[in-house]
């Protein structure tokens, strides 16, 4: 029996954001060819534990998060433990998967970015230094993809904020500043970017097909036979 892929996402009260996450689950199902269930690590129900409790057989949980912060390290394992699904395998977060970095570059270009526009990679942020390091790594990868420097900025937790990074780039003489959204779906965090002072704001990574591809890649890595 092939394990069910349990797609764990951060919840949102934004109707468009919810539609996007459901579309992501459909895209993952089409690519993976295995049962796919959607659950929320925060904000919305059902949570990961509630959904896992209804699944018979093996489960691979893929956290659709861009860094391995608190939700990935604590909330998701805790929700699984609450319902006794200690057998569930949890993959790593999507992180700086090359497909996501490429998606961020495409979304920037779609929004009107062109060299030599300065770029701020806008992430939700985290109190976890490891998660912030993952964002910095993604910024470095995006810079390589664009052939242009990319700096980080945070929306909710961490410094500098997106607005501070935009202002710093302006002070250095950059005529145009673009924001690359290191967010998966629309919602409150993405709405805040409109007031950060940039010339353009790229859309969230979804519905770029690279996101679904990254999720499926994590699942397949988890179920691949171990090599001796």
Grouping H, G, I as helix, E, B as strand and the rest as coil, residue 47 is: strand
How far apart, in whole angstroms, are the C-alpha atoms of residue 76 and residue 47? 9
Q: Which residue has the tokens 């976890």?
A: 128
CB-based contacts of 112-115 (< 8 A; 24+ apart in sequence): 112/178, 112/200, 113/146, 113/178, 113/180, 113/200, 113/202, 115/146, 115/147, 115/148
How far apart, in whole angstroms, are the C-alpha atoms of residue 190 and residue 62? 23
Give, as one character, the DSSP assignment of residue 161: B
The average confidence (pLDDT) of the chain is 93
pLDDT surpassing 70 at residue 194: yes
pLDDT surpassing 90 at residue 96: no
Q: What is the pLDDT of residue 83?
A: 97
pTM above the 0.95 mark?
A: no
Q: What is the pLDDT of residue 17?
A: 87
Q: What is the pLDDT of residue 170?
A: 95
pLDDT band at 228 (very low <50, low <70, confident <90, very high): very low
How far apart, in whole angstroms, are the C-alpha atoms of residue 171 and residue 163? 12
pLDDT band at 70 (very low <50, low <70, confident <90, very high): confident
Q: What is the pLDDT of residue 95?
A: 83
pLDDT surpassing 60 at residue 227: no
pLDDT surpassing 80 at residue 226: no
Q: What is the pLDDT of residue 160?
A: 96
| Residue 155, H or E segment | strand 150-157
Grouping H, G, I as helix, E, B as strand and the rest as coil, residue 75 is: helix
Count CB atoms within 10 A of the CB of residue 92.
15
pLDDT surpassing 60 at residue 199: yes
- Express each pLDDT in 100-159 by its tens digit: 999 999 999 999 999 999 999 999 988 888 889 999 999 999 999 999 889 999 999 889
Closest alpha carbon to 169 in 120, 203, 123: 120
- Express each pLDDT in 9-44 by its tens digit: 988 888 998 999 999 999 999 999 999 999 999 888
């Amino acid at each position: 029996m092939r394990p069910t892929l349990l797609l764990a996402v951060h919840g949102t009260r934004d109707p468009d954001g919810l539609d996007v996450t459901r579309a992501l689950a459909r895209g993952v199902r089409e690519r993976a060819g295995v049962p796919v269930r959607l659950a929320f690590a925060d904000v919305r129900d059902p949570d990961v534990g509630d959904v896992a409790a209804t699944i018979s057989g093996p489960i691979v949980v893929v956290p659709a998060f861009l860094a391995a912060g608190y939700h990935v390290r604590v909330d998701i394992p805790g929700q699984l433990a609450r319902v006794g699904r200690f057998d569930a395998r949890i993959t790593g977060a999507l992180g700086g998967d090359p497909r996501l970095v490429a998606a961020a570059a495409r979304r920037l270009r779609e929004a009107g970015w062109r060299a030599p526009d300065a770029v701020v990679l806008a992430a939700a942020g985290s109190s976890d230094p490891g998660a912030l390091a993952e964002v910095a790594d993604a910024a470095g990868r995006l810079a390589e993809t664009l052939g242009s420097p990319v700096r980080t900025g945070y929306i909710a937790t961490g410094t500098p904020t997106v607005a501070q990074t935009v202002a710093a780039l302006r002070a250095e003489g950059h005529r145009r500043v673009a924001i690359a959204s290191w967010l998966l779906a629309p919602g409150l965090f993405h709405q805040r970017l409109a007031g950060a002072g940039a010339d353009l704001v790229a859309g969230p990574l979804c519905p770029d097909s690279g996101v679904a591809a990254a999720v499926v890649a994590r699942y397949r890595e988890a179920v691949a036979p171990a090599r001796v």
